[in-house]
Each structure stands twice: as C-alpha cells, then as structure tokens.
Amino acid sequence: MPFPDLQQFIGELDAGGQLKRVRATVDPALEISAITDRVCKLPAAGNDPPPPTDPVHGTRGGHALLFESVAGSSIPVAINLFGSYARMRLALGVTDFEELADRVQQLVKPEVPTTLLEKVKKIPQLAKLAGYGPKSVRNGRCQEIQHTDDANLLSLPIIQCWPHDGESGYGLKPTEEAAGTPRYITLAGVYSKDPETGIDNVGMYRVQVFSEKLAAVHWHMHHDGARHFRKYKRRGERMPLAVVLGGEPVLPYAATCPLPPDVSELLFAGFLNHGGIERVPCKTIPLEVPANAEIVIEGWVDTDRLLIEGPFGDHTGFYSLADRYPALNVTAITHRENPIYPTTIVGLPPQEDYYLGKATERIFLPLLKTLVPDVIDYHLPMFGAFHNCVFIKIRKEYPMQARKVMSAIWGAGQMMFSKMIVIVDDHVNVHDEQDVLFRVGANVDWRRDVAVVDGPCDILDHATPTYGTGAKIGIDATRKIPGEGTVRDWPEELTMTDAMIERVRQRWAEYGL
C-alpha cells in the first residue's frame, strides 16, 4: 500500500537499501546537483530486474539520497527519491505498473452492468470511487511550525541545479536581482483554484526564488495553472497559490500526470492512495493543502506584475531561456517539526523525471487506447525527452490508418506536443528502438509515407521558429497496402517456422553450444 507521508517512504527506502545518507556538509548551489547527476546514472540499487518494456535503461538510477547537512539551512535535502523503477513502484504501492494500468482501465472503460444483480454489485465500487476525493481536517502536521511575518524562503535549502540557472544577462535582463545565488524549487505541487468553478489544480511548476518573500512561478500557457491565472487577471483579482513540498508520495506523481482538463489531481492521488488525501485550510490564503506535507509556502500571485524568470537547465538537456512569469508574494511558510526538503534536478536523461514519465507511459496506456482505439502499445524513447518522439504500434486494417492515428495522437491532450510520431505494425516491439528504426529504414518512402504538419509545440522546444508553435512529423513505417499511393509488391519479412524454432529449443543442449 502507498505511504501516508514522505518520511515514512524515505524510511522504507532506507530499510530496503535504496537510500544513501550523506553526512558530509554540502552546498545547495550546484554541489547537490552534481552529486545527484552522477548517482542517477549509476546501476540501480537492489537486484530488481528491469521491466521488459525498458530492459536497457531500467538497470540505471543509483540510490535515493538524503543530505543530512546542507550549508545555510538546518533542513535535510532528499533527492532522486523516484529515480528508479523500483522506487516508483514502491511510491505507488504496486509491484508492477500494469496493476495500476488495470485499475485505470476499469475507470475509463468500466463494464456496464446488464442485470439488476450486476447493478447492485456495482454499488460498493461506486462508493469506493467517491471515497477517493480529498478529505478536510482541522489540523495537519504541515502546520506544526508556522511563520508569517518572519517567513523566509532563504531559510529553506533550495538548490541551484545548473551553472547558468537564473543567471543575470543570460537571455533577458532581470527585473529583480536574486538574493545571492539563484535557486529553484523543483519538486513541489503548486496548488491553485479556478475562480469560476472552484475546481482545484495541482501542477508541478518550477519556482524561482528572488528574495525572502518574492518568487516567480513558471507555467506554460497550455497548463491549468496558467489558465487559472488568466481568469484571475480578467477578473482583476490577485490569485491565491500554495507551493507544497512532500506529503503522500503519490502526490508528486499525480501532479505530473496528463489528466483531462478539470479532472482533479487530488482525486487521482486519492485513487492511487486507495483513500482520499487529507487537507487542511491554509493560514493566510483561501486554499486547502495536504495535511501530511513537509513544507507549505503560501502566497498571492500578483496578476499585474511579471518577473524575468530563468534561464533554467531543463529536461530537454538545454537551458530554457529567461522569460516573463508571474510574481508570487509569500505570506506564510508552515512545516512539520523536523521537516525534510524534497527536490529534484532535470537535464540530459536519464534523470529522476525519466522514471516518473515511464510510469505514466504504462499507467495511462488504457486512457490512450480509449481516446485512440487503434493503439496497441506505445513507447516514449529516452532520447525524445518526453515530447520529441513517440513510437506507436497498431494493427493495420485499412489504407491510411497510420495517418489517421497520427492526427488522433496530435489531438490527444499533452500528446499534441509530440514532435515526431513513428507508426509500426503490430508484430514490431515498440520498446526496442532498433526494431522500430529497422522498419523506418525498410518500409518508408520519404515522399509517400511522411506527413509534416504545423501546430502547438512544447514551449521548451528551442528549435521551433516561433514560440510554442512549429512543425511536427509523422512517419508511417507500416507495411504498405493498396490505397496508400504507389505500392509495389511487398515482400515478406524473414522468419523461421515455429516448428523448427521449437525443435531447436528442445535439442539445444545436444548441440553443445
């Protein structure tokens, strides 16, 4: 089962040999990041075999790290907590991602009861679903210690990830000088509320710290947080915002999930947690936050003030350039007694975020199949940094089916950012990149089988000619059939007979090989 808070999760990692404690004093500026960048590319802790969908990269991840002595703060720093398949499965309370995929399948495409008895049997399932919603409580561990007038972001061990992060003169000229080394909050759930519907949103947006009570929140125009911001701005109101660190280990994962608009991340977190997330009212803003969080930063977003945020070393492996993002004025910092500060770094993969993304790839396959029934399986290769490439397997039944699937994928939520889509036949292993690329080389005519379209692109894609828009490519690497342009006689792939494969298997010991 999932864990009730971050510290119990860390304790389990420690007991299971998945955690390394660093007792030497370290600098939060670059040193923690440099150590972690080296560790996360080491062999995975423990003896868990890699998943069949990722036999190469699944062997990496190193250990989770707990830095017990961080210069400038009394709070320990935890990092790389989710940086392996074993730790992701532990955080989500499963032995295999397919368990969660099956549960998601029941949610998105439940079996419809046809008889009265079947309907009665469904009642407990519906009641259980209702129990996944967040639960309000009066008191929470996240408010054991409270700072309002004396709230100070600089008292937290916030890290600098990469050398040019927040660097003055790298891109746009800053409107505010950061107090000392520019630091970024990187593994927090950012909580906001739609002022019209009252629906909560939790996003994982980075936050640059400028001074004791001033920060900037980075969200892309496509994100729900940005949509809420635009609504508050139209109303001429400031926007309440909470930055939450820690809590139930399912929370960071839920905040990263590509959920449909207005589907609550907290409801999904409750689903993952097998029970609703407990929340307490904030002290200075009209929002509720997870009661079991480590640290909560409360504040108001000024909808009339933008700061120059960035640059930032991003998951693309490049710096995302500085730009204008909303100012957050901090009104309170609350935390539990003896908190731990969770953080992460992103950059050239593999990093911790790779395993969060691969969990989503597996768990949300049923949802993608519901949106695009042609899809049998898909793979987000590491080199694609989540949005640059996706491999998709289909069972081809009619001409131009691959083109139809490309269009559907570009219209499916955050999959719209897919810069390159490769479609292959159902016998191809989409998780074997060489198998996919073999079909690209063998089956593709570049005039007939390629589609280039214009549309929305990831804001972090520095190659696009304009901000947030550019060209995307679809490659049909399937066997071609009549009706798909000029198609010559298509040869059969080389395969051995099943009978001979079985004969060799049975006699293998005889061969002395």
302 is catalytic: no
Other CB atoms within 10 Å distance of the CB of residue 119:
11
- DSSP code string of 222-259: TSHHHHHHHHHHHHT--EEEEEEEESSTHHHHHHHS-P
DSSP designation for 480: P
- Can you read off the two tokens belonging to residue 22? 């660093």
Residue 291 to residue 131: CA distance in whole angstroms: 17
- Can you read off the two tokens belonging to residue 48? 């868990």
Helical (H) or strand (E) element with 337: none
Q: Could you tell me how far CA 250 lies from the centroid of its own chain?
A: 12
Cβ proximity of 208 and 215 under 8 Å: yes
CA atoms within 13 A on the CB side of 426: 8
Q: Closest by alpha carbon to 336, among 147, 119, 498?
A: 147
For the chain, state the CA radius of gyration: 24
Find all residues with CB under 8 Å of 465, minimum gap 6, and list them. Answer: none
- Residue of 5, 165, 314, 449 with catalytic role: 314
Helical (H) or strand (E) element with 201: strand 200-203
Q: Closest by alpha carbon to 2, among 104, 89, 79?
A: 89
Find all residues with CB under 8 Å of 363, minimum gap 6, and list them. Answer: 97, 100, 101, 104
420-424 vs 469-476, strand pairing mode: parallel
HEC states along 40-87?
A: CCCECCCCCCCCCCCCCHHHECCCEEEECCECCCCCCEEECCCCCHHH
Helical (H) or strand (E) element with 26: none
Residue 258 to residue 77: CA distance in whole angstroms: 28
- Can you read off the two tokens belonging to residue 221? 């125009």
3-state secondary structure of 347: coil
Q: Closest by alpha carbon to 218, among 319, 352, 341, 312?
A: 312
Q: Which residues are catalytic?
A: 314
